[in-house]
C-alpha cells in the first residue's frame, strides 16, 4: 500500500474492510502455559524472591551484630536488660534492631505478601531509617562506647540503600520486562486467532478510510460506503472521534502559539500548548525522510502492529470497528522514567481521516465493555490527541510527522516527573519509528 495510488482504490476499500471484518481464521492458540501471566506462573518471581531473601538477611545480620555487641562486656543477659528493660536512647543499640524489624515487616508485607509493583513502601522505610540513624548518631554517645557504635548505624544505613537500589533497578524493571514479554505473546496470539468480542478485528485486517475533503461537513450516513454507526453507543463513539479530530485540527492551526520545550539529537522538537478544559498538551514535530504513505500505514492504519516495533507500547488491540472512520482500541504503555512511571492502560476511540495534503488519526479516552479497568494496571485517561502526517507539496519522498499528546496518567506522580517522562517517551517513539521505516525501506530494495 505505501507509495501506491489511492485514487480509484480508496472508494472501494471501505467495502473491502467490511468484508474483512467478518472474516475469521481458525488457527489455534499457543500452548496455555505461554499465555499465563508472569505473576501467575509462580507464587513470586525469582528476582522478587531474591529481594525478600536480602531483606531477611538484613534483619538477621543486624540481629547478629547486636547479639555480638551484647556479649562484648559482662554477660549477655545483663547487657540485654540494660538495653531493653532500661532502654536509653543515647546508649542503647536496641532501637537499631527494632528499626531492622520495621524494615523487614514493611518490605515483606508489601513486596512478598501483597506483591506491590511500586516503590512507595521502600521509600518510606528508607526515609525512616535514614532520619532515625542521623538523629541517633547526633544525639547519642554510641561512638564513644566501642566499635559497634560505628558498625551498627553504618551497616543499617548501607543495607537500607542497597535494598532500595535492588528493588528499583532489578525487581521492578525485570518484572516489567517479563510483563511486556507476556503481553507481546498475547498480542501475537491474537494476530493468529479470531477475536471473541463482536465486530472486533484482528491484526492484518487494516483498512483505509475514505478520503475526506477539507472543510466538508458530511452527515454520518454519507461518510462511507461500508460500515456505519447504528446504535446509540456507536454514534457516541463517532461523536467523540469527531470532537477529538476537531481539537487536533485547532491545535495544528495554532502552531504560532506552540511553546518550545526541547530538541532531540535527531532534530525533533517537543512543544506544549494549554488547551481549555484539557490542560497541557504535548506536541512532537519531526521531519521524516520517507513518504507520508509509509508512515500512514505503519502508525495510523495498523496501530495493533505497532507493538512489534514500538517499545513504548506493550499491547494494542482493536476492540471494535464502529464505522469506516472510527474504531475503539485498547492500549498498554510501557513503564517510563526508569520504572518510576509504571505501565498504564488506556481505552481510546480513534477517528482516521485522509485528506489531500495530510493523514490524520485523532482520539480520546472512552469506555468499552470488553476492557473494564483491571487491577494489574492504572487506567490512564487520554484527552484529545493523535497523529498527523503532512505530505510535502514539492517532494513526495519526505513528510512531516506530528504527534499531539494530552494524557492523564493518574496515580500520585509529581507533575514535573510526568512531563519529563512524556517528552522522553515521544523522542523514544520517534527513534523506534525511524528504525522501523529504515527496516521497511531496506526490505523493499
Question: What is the CA angle 317-321-326, rounded to 5?
Answer: 105
Question: Where does the pLDDT of residue 28 fall: very low under 50, low under 70, confident under 90, or very high at 90 and above?
Answer: very low
DSSP state of 211: B
Q: Which residue would you say has higher pLDDT here, 344 or 226?
A: 344
Would the pLDDT of 383 be above 70?
Answer: yes
Q: Which residue would you say has higher pLDDT here, 302 or 205?
A: 302
74 dihedral zone (left: phi>0; alpha: psi -120 to 50; beta):
left
Contact 276, 286 (CB under 8 A): no
Where does 140-298 have alpha helices with state H?
A: 148-166, 172-192, 232-253, 292-295
Grid cell digits, residue 74? 559482662
- In whole angstroms, what is the distance from residue 45 CA to residue 173 CA? 12
Would the pLDDT of 204 be above 80?
Answer: no
Q: What is the pLDDT of residues 207-254, one digit of tens each?
A: 455 555 444 444 433 344 566 767 888 899 999 999 999 999 999 999
Q: Which residue would you say has higher pLDDT here, 265 or 389?
A: 389
**Kind and range of the H or E run holding 439:** helix 415-444
Grid cell digits, residue 177? 520486562
Grid cell digits, residue 346? 488506556
End-to-end CA distance of the chain: 16
DSSP 69-97: HHTSSS-HHHHHIIIIIT--TTT-SHHHH
Interval 145-157 mean pLDDT? 83
Interval 157-182 mean pLDDT? 84
Question: Where does the pLDDT of residue 200 fall: very low under 50, low under 70, confident under 90, or very high at 90 and above?
Answer: very low
Interval 150-164 mean pLDDT? 91
Q: Which pLDDT belongs to residue 187?
A: 52
Contact 348, 322 (CB under 8 A): no
Grid cell digits, residue 101? 524489624
Which three-class secondary structure string do you get for 364-407?
A: EECCCCCCCCCCCCEECEECCEEEEEEECCCCCCCEEEEEEECE
Range of lowest pLDDT (9-23, 82-96, 157-171, 281-295): 9-23
Range of lowest pLDDT (73-77, 197-201, 408-412): 197-201
Q: What is the pLDDT of residues 257-275, one digit of tens each?
A: 999 999 988 889 999 998 8
- In whole angstroms, what is the distance from residue 198 CA to residue 187 CA? 18
Range of lowest pLDDT (186-195, 304-313, 408-417): 186-195
Would the pLDDT of 380 be above 80?
Answer: yes
- Which residues, other chains included, contact 93 with Cβ-Cβ below 8 Å and sequence gap of 6+? 66, 69, 83, 142, 148, 152
Contact 320, 368 (CB under 8 A): yes
Amino acid at each position: 500500500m505505501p507509495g501506491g495510488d489511492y485514487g480509484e482504490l480508496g472508494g472501494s476499500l471501505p467495502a473491502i474492510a467490511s468484508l474483512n471484518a467478518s472474516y475469521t481464521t481458525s488457527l489455534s492458540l499457543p500452548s496455555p502455559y505461554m499465555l499465563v501471566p508472569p505473576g501467575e506462573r509462580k507464587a513470586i518471581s525469582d528476582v522478587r524472591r531474591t529481594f525478600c531473601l536480602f531483606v531477611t538477611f538484613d534483619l538477621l545480620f543486624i540481629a547478629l551484630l547486636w547479639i555480638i555487641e551484647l556479649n562484648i562486656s559482662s554477660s549477655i543477659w545483663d547487657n540485654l536488660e540494660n538495653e531493653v528493660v532500661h532502654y536509653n536512647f543515647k546508649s542503647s543499640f536496641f532501637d537499631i534492631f527494632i528499626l531492622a524489624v520495621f524494615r523487614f515487616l514493611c518490605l515483606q508485607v508489601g513486596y512478598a505478601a501483597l506483591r506491590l509493583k511500586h516503590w512507595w513502601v521502600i521509600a518510606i522505610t528508607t526515609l525512616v531509617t535514614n532520619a532515625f540513624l542521623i538523629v541517633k548518631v547526633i544525639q547519642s554517645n554510641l561512638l564513644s562506647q566501642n566499635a559497634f557504635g560505628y558498625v551498627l548505624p553504618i551497616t543499617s544505613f548501607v543495607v537500607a540503600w542497597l535494598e532500595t537500589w535492588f528493588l528499583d533497578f532489578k525487581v521492578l524493571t525485570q518484572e516489567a520486562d517479563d510483563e511486556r514479554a507476556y503481553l507481546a505473546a498475547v498480542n501475537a496470539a491474537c494476530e493468529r486467532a479470531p477475536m471473541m468480542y463482536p465486530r472486533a478485528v484482528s491484526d492484518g485486517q487494516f483498512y483505509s478510510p475514505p478520503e475526506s475533503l477539507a472543510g466538508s461537513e458530511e452527515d454520518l450516513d454519507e461518510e462511507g460506503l461500508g460500515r456505519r454507526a447504528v446504535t446509540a453507543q456507536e454514534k457516541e463513539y463517532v461523536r467523540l472521534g469527531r470532537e477529538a479530530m476537531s481539537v487536533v485540527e485547532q491545535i495544528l492551526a495554532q502552531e504560532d502559539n506552540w511553546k518550545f520545550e526541547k530538541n532531540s539529537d535527531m532534530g525533533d522538537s517537543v512543544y506544549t500548548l494549554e488547551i481549555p478544559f484539557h490542560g497541557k498538551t504535548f506536541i512532537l514535530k519531526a521531519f521524516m525522510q520517507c513518504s507520508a504513505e509509509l508512515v500512514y500505514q505503519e502508525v495510523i492504519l495498523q496501530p495493533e502492529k505497532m507493538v512489534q516495533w514500538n517499545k513504548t507500547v506493550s499491547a494494542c488491540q482493536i476492540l471494535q470497528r464502529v464505522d469506516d472512520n472510527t474504531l475503539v482500541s485498547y492500549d498498554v504503555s510501557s513503564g517510563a522514567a526508569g520504572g518510576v512511571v509504571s505501565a498504564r492502560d488506556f481505552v481510546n476511540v480513534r477517528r482516521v481521516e485522509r485528506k489531500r495534503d495530510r493523514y490524520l488519526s485523532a482520539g480520546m479516552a472512552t469506555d468499552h465493555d470488553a476492557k473494564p479497568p483491571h487491577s494489574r494496571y492504572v487506567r490512564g485517561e487520554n484527552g484529545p490527541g493523535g497523529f498527523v502526517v503532512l505530505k510535502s507539496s514539492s517532494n513526495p519522498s519526505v513528510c512531516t510527522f506530528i504527534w499531539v499528546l494530552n494524557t492523564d496518567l493518574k496515580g500520585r506522580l509529581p507533575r514535573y516527573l510526568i512531563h519529563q517522562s512524556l517528552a522522553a517517551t515521544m523522542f523514544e517513539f520517534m527513534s523506534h519509528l525511524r528504525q522501523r521505516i529504515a527496516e521497511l525501506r531496506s526490505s523493499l530494495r
